[in-house]
Structure 1
Amino acid sequence: MTESGTKAAPEAKPRRGRPPSTSLNQGLILDTALAIIEREGADALTLRRLGTELGANHTAVLRHFAGKDEILLGLAERLIEEAMDGFVPSAGWRQTLESMASRVRAACLAHPQVAVLVATRVSRRAAEFRGADVVIGALRQAGFEDRDAARYYRSLVDTAMALASYEAAVTALDSASLEGDRMAWRREYLAVSPARYPDLAAVAPFLAEADEDDQFGTTLGLLLDAVELRARAGR
């Protein structure tokens, strides 16, 4: 009881399982942001929602990140960290590039909602710098001068991220949409008019078959074949 005779309000207790704001750190905030996006999609991620999930005022998050955009850059770095974890360059430059691209793809497919959200961002952090160093080193090993190594690095990385995030976006579709798109190759494309679309009709029976191929590997192989041809010409 207070001196006025009214009962004092009980102290608010933090929700069970949520850390007090004093224990917040960048890693925990990124873990929570990642979980929100993977569970509910990109639109669900707001500073207020982060604060609620962490059991803290959203302003506490701003003591660790300047804003939501910096959190997104941190998530982009998380994908690259996952891709680079345990990576050892191969003896051959092409094998190094293939391995790096496959690792990026695996990280994107493991976190499809996040991959679609951050694929176009430049994280400007340590894991990204290390990945860039590895890719550029492989291109210089192939024999490219520095200017060309820089240009082809950008082309390779942008293409690999575009392919991986596209594939991630496909896996993130709801099952009905995904099945409808897959069946289109076996229905609508097979039914096109040979008179109106002669070339499409000629290959239509093989489009569904191609849908089962590793499109990422096929496209990456075409790009690396072109890089290898240019490397030979440069020598």
Structure 2
Amino acid sequence: MAKQVVPEAARQRRRPTKQGTVLSEQLIMETALRMLREHGSDGLTVRRLGAALGADPSTLYRYFRSVDELTLAIGDELIGRAMHGWQPGGDWRADLRTLGARIHAAYLAHPQAAVLTASRVTGRAHEIAADEAILGVLRTAGFPDEAAVRVYQAFIDQSLAFAILDAATLALPEAARSADEGVWRATYAQLPADTHPHIAATAGLLVARMNRSAYPTALEMLLDSAAASLARG
């Protein structure tokens, strides 16, 4: 049976934890983000989280029914951080470009959490506000509803997909990440033109580009496609 979740206003402890802090959803999420950064997803357990907060693990169920619900809350928190302070400027391409960069950066600031949450649908307040904002940008720009939804889906899925891809790279151990980055120079740049003419011809460009995220390029291509669709509309 699911545990009853107490409303936020009624959850405040009347006395501090062993570490002298008062529990709240925000404090639990901040601590969980730190644990993910330090220990990865395997390190996020109710027992470890309770120990980090100086609280009995059972107390955490007053705030979140399960670790999965906490995971969804963390995902929504990252979206909220991406949207914080953003306001549409009236140029739909510039607005979406800025939003995409914000979403990507917010997830990459917490790569372990990004890998864990970017594929989830939270249905929480920040996610809903982001969806409303993106659809508002597109509909205000003149996209018909069907086209607005199509572009919205491509935009948000692309942003989150690159967030997962790039965050997974950042979450690798330093030695593994350095080894992967070195392959372009140590292997691809050394391939002979007689057997691999196209790689050899572009080797310098590959070395310069392939260890950078392709997200800005992919986002610009998506915006180009959406603009062409709007012009045909």
TM-score normalised by length of structure 1: 0.86
Say if 1:116 and 1:168, in contact at 8 Å, map to a contact too: yes
Name the SS of the counterpart of 1:139 in structure 2.
helix
CA shift digits 1:42-62 (9 cap, x unpaired): 110011111222222222111
Cα offset, 1:189, TM superposition: 0.2
Cα offset, 1:160, TM superposition: 0.7
Instruction: Give 1:118-157 correspondences, 5 Å limit.
Output: 118-157=117-156
CA RMSD of aligned residues (A): 1.8
Name the SS of the counterpart of 1:43 in structure 2.
helix
> 1 CA distance for matches of 2:203 and 2:77?
40
> 2 CA distance for matches of 1:108 and 1:201?
35
Name the SS of the counterpart of 2:185 in structure 1.
coil
> 2 CA distance for matches of 1:32 and 1:209?
37
- Partner of residue 216, structure 2: 217
- Partner of residue 4, structure 1: none
The sequence identity of aligned pairs, in percent, is 38
Name the SS of the counterpart of 1:65 in structure 2.
coil
Cα offset, 1:15, TM superposition: 7.5
> 2 CA distance for matches of 1:159 and 1:47?
32
- Partner of residue 200, structure 1: 199
Cα offset, 1:127, TM superposition: 1.1
> 2 CA distance for matches of 1:131 and 1:111?
19
CA shift digits 1:104-157 (9 cap, x unpaired): 112112111111111101121111111111111121133221122112211110
> 2 CA distance for matches of 1:89 and 1:15?
42
Say if 1:48 and 1:58, in contact at 8 Å, map to a contact too: yes
> 1 CA distance for matches of 2:89 and 2:168?
30
1:184 aligns with 2:183: yes
- Partner of residue 36, structure 2: 37
Name the SS of the counterpart of 1:120 in structure 2.
coil
> 1 CA distance for matches of 2:113 and 2:179?
24
Say if 1:77 and 1:127, in contact at 8 Å, map to a contact too: yes
> 2 CA distance for matches of 1:145 and 1:193?
51
Query: Does 52-61 or 210-219 show the bigger shift?
Result: 210-219
Name the SS of the counterpart of 1:190 in structure 2.
helix
Instruction: Give 1:22-101 correspondences, 5 Å limit.
Output: 23-101=22-100
> 1 CA distance for matches of 2:45 and 2:61?
12
Aligned residues: 218
Name the SS of the counterpart of 1:195 in structure 2.
coil
Query: Does 171-180 or 45-54 show the bigger shift?
Result: 171-180
Query: Does 191-200 or 45-54 show the bigger shift?
Result: 191-200
Say if 2:19 and 2:53, in contact at 8 Å, map to a contact too: no
Query: Does 70-79 or 134-143 show the bigger shift?
Result: 134-143
TM-score normalised by length of structure 2: 0.86
User: Which of the pair has more CA radius of gyration?
Assistant: 1
Say if 2:82 and 2:105, in contact at 8 Å, map to a contact too: yes
> 2 CA distance for matches of 1:15 and 1:127?
29
Which residue identity is paired with 1:17? Q
Instruction: Give 1:106-125 correspondences, 5 Å limit.
Output: 106-125=105-124
> 2 CA distance for matches of 1:167 and 1:15?
37
- Partner of residue 17, structure 1: 19
- Partner of residue 10, structure 1: none
Which residue identity is paired with 1:40? H
> 2 CA distance for matches of 1:93 and 1:73?
29
Say if 2:104 and 2:159, in contact at 8 Å, map to a contact too: yes
